[in-house]
Amino acid sequence: MTTPGRQMHLGVFVLGTGNHIAGWRYPGAAQSFEDLSVVQEIARIAERGKFDLIFLGDNLATEPGMHPSFAARFEPLTMLAALAATTTHVGLGATSSTTYNEPYNVARAFASLDHLSHGRAAWNAVTSSGGKAAENFGRIHPEHDARYEVAEEFVDVVRGLWDCWDDGAVVRNLETGQYIDPAKVRTLDHKGRFFQVKGPLPTSRTPQGQPIILQAGSSGPGLALAARTADVVFAVVQDLEEAKAGYVALKSRMPAFGRHGDEIAVLPGVMPVVGRTEAEAREKLNTLQGFVNTTNALSMLSSRLGQDVSRFPPDDLVTELPLPDSSHGFARAMLAKALRDRMTWRDLFNLTGAARGHWVICGTPETIADTLQQWFEERACDGFNILPAYFPGAFDDFVDMVVPILQERGLYRREYAGTTLRDHLGLARPRSRLFAS
Ligand SMILES: Cc1cc2nc3c(=O)[nH]c(=O)nc-3n(C[C@H](O)[C@H](O)[C@H](O)COP(=O)(O)O)c2cc1C
């Protein structure tokens, strides 16, 4: 049953060459993630579809065999700063690692983006599961739980820095010549296990007060961090019952941190392949699959599972695999699905090629809307992170064919109710905790 007035939230996972590993080969598809005009077009479509946010991930190491948009991309905050100038409503989310950054730099960058965009910034706090980044920072990659210990403190420092300025601190009094009211700016004086940060930032309190925090970890420590600090969680799902269990598992952890379940929007990733008929949708997916380059797809699957899978005969059934520390939620969800559905390695490889381990739905606008509605109403999620297989066409299809059905059914906004990402998510603007008392 729907709670009256409960509305879906929608994000779009932006990869210029498409979320499908071979999306860029689809006729008419954009072929670069290093082209601002491609991402500007995606943002325009997102605003036409009244999306909550667009999301740019990041990786801190590259290899030629990766997904093309992972292999060659821009630093995401730089891209979002440019987009802030050409958009008016859609939230702007980007990844910054808690393992390979300083909290001061991250707090400052997202505070700046929040000002530049008039309240639309969102930080995806990730611990960086890929160990290759370490080689670019002269570091040894910390193990999984140690990364989360750092992340817990990192997020607190970032949020603390955002709280160092009270509203109204910049007074610009032309008569007295006072520019800043010193009573409204404080130091943080953080001295923790991993970070010592005095503060404040040289950036005043932002339009959202606290920019939005996104998270996507699904391990125990990942869920704990999300339950305590996240506003939006990107889930990796393949199955309705698993998604419902994951939703409850996350939300039931929140009261321990003094939070209500409604304070987090859980958005599973989904790649909708939309056709005017079932046959047309299936044909689109087959066309995309036909473009998959075996080497790239194998390397993507190996990277998701944290081990070389080319050693398995493709037509053998997938068997239980010990997953290394570096594997993440995708690996667990994909392996569980492969074992449940008795997939061969080739089937799993095709699944990965299609959506990098995310859930794929293929059908008409109505059948896709039906599925999304069922997941939303049965509380498997609070909305979706849409992963168009290619841009702009597959995103246009979703926005022009599926979104209107969700709107007609009263499940999704027809207009933005406010201008900030907090407004779209229905989250109040917080007062600085340093000044609230
Ligand atoms: C939608 C989505 C987006 C993600 N974006 C990034 C990213 O941009 N960079 C990154 O290093 N990890 C990214 N991840 C990986 C997760 O944030 C997380 O680090 C990983 O799942 C391991 O955490 P866990 O062990 O708690 O599951 C993403 C995951 C999902 C589901």
Identify whether the C-beta of residue 84 lies closer than 8 Å to the C-beta of residue 211.
no
Task: Provide the pLDDT for residue 99.
Answer: 98
234 lines ligand 1 (CB under 6 A): yes
Alpha-carbon distance values, 107 to 154, 161, 215, 243 (Å): 10, 7, 16, 32
304, two tokens: 């998701």
Task: Provide the pLDDT for residue 3.
Answer: 64
With 50 as the cut, is the pLDDT of residue 27 above it? yes
219 lines ligand 1 (CB under 6 A): yes
Find how far residue 92's CA is from the centre of its chain. 10
Residue type, 5: G
385 lines ligand 1 (CB under 6 A): yes
Nearest protein Cα to ligand 1, atom 30: 216
99 lines ligand 1 (CB under 6 A): no
87 lines ligand 1 (CB under 6 A): no
- Residue of 75, 126, 253, 334 to mutate, ligand 1, most atoms within 8 A of C-beta: 126
Cis peptide before 392 (omega within 30 of 0): yes
Identify whether the C-beta of residue 349 lies closer than 8 Å to the C-beta of residue 342.
no
Bridge partners (DSSP) listed for residue 208 = none
With 70 as the cut, is the pLDDT of residue 356 above it? yes
Q: Which residues contact 374 (CB under 8 A, 6 or more apart)?
A: 240
DSSP secondary structure of 182-208: GGGB----EE-SS-EE----SSPPBTT
Compute the distance from residue 216 Cα to the ligand 1 centre, in Å: 5
Residue ranges and CATH numbers for the domains of the chain are 9-272+360-436 (3.20.20.30)
Positive or negative, the Cα torsion across 139, 141, 142, 148?
positive
- 345-355 and 294-305 helices, crossing angle to 10°: 90
Q: Rounded distance, CA 301 to CA 351, Å?
A: 9
Task: Provide the pLDDT for residue 1.
Answer: 44
pLDDT in tens, 198-217: 999 999 999 999 999 999 98
57 lines ligand 1 (CB under 6 A): yes
Task: Provide the pLDDT for residue 4.
Answer: 66
Task: Provide the pLDDT for residue 352.
Answer: 67
Residue 168, judged by CB atoms within 10 A of its CB (0-12, 13-18, 19+), counts as exposed
Mean pLDDT of the chain: 94
Compute the distance from residue 281 Cα to the ligand 1 centre, in Å: 29
Identify whether the C-beta of residue 91 lies closer than 8 Å to the C-beta of residue 120.
yes
Q: Which of 235, 39, 231 is nearest to 120 (CA)?
A: 231
Average pLDDT over residues 424-436: 96
Nearest protein Cα to ligand 1, atom 23: 217
pLDDT in tens, 317-340: 998 888 766 556 677 778 888 898
218 lines ligand 1 (CB under 6 A): yes
Cis peptide before 211 (omega within 30 of 0): no
With 80 as the cut, is the pLDDT of residue 296 above it? no
- Between 325 and 248, name the one with better pLDDT: 248
Task: Provide the pLDDT for residue 118.
Answer: 98
Task: Provide the pLDDT for residue 327.
Answer: 59
